[in-house]
Amino acid sequence: MAEAKYSKLFLPLSEVKEKHFLARSLDCKGVGFSFVRYKPGEGGAYVHRHDVQEEIFATIKGNGTIILDGERIPMPEGTVIRVSPEVFRAIGNDSKEDVVFLLVGGIPPKDFPLGGRTLFGDGTPDRATVPEWKKP
């Protein structure tokens, strides 16, 4: 029997709880992605940036917020933002309803200098910069 050339996963948005990392479940070789749900007033505990990895953030349910180099940007449902590696970023929920984001990043080739981790593994946190998410 021939090897399948695709993978399929079914995850209704109603079942997304906090973070669901999906790349391994689908045996992805070149892309990493996850669903993230934040309740009102929740979000990233600190900002971070990367050395080489760009990321895509998409709001697929609700109204989210992204902070890019200190600038707070609304992300209503349907918004997609690409972020360059050097930009400090955090996502969260300043609204009164849950928000679900889709996050996409790259998976390095096996011999990538950072060791071939699941994602690039080149994140640099700034734990001193803690976003304040609006409470409902």
More confident residue, 101 or 6: 101
Single pTM value for the model: 0.81
User: How do residues 66-83 score in pLDDT, each as one tens digit?
Assistant: 999 999 999 999 999 999
- Per-residue pLDDT, 77: 97
DSSP conformation letters of 25-89:
TTT-SSEEEEEEEE-TT-B-SSEEEESS--EEEEEEESEEEEEETTEEEEEETT-EEEE-TTS-E
* For range 8-19, the mean pLDDT: 88
Q: What is the pLDDT of residues 96-136, one digit of tens each?
A: 999 999 999 876 666 555 544 445 566 677 788 878 887 77
List, in order of start, the domains of the chain with CATH numbers: 17-126 (2.60.120.10)
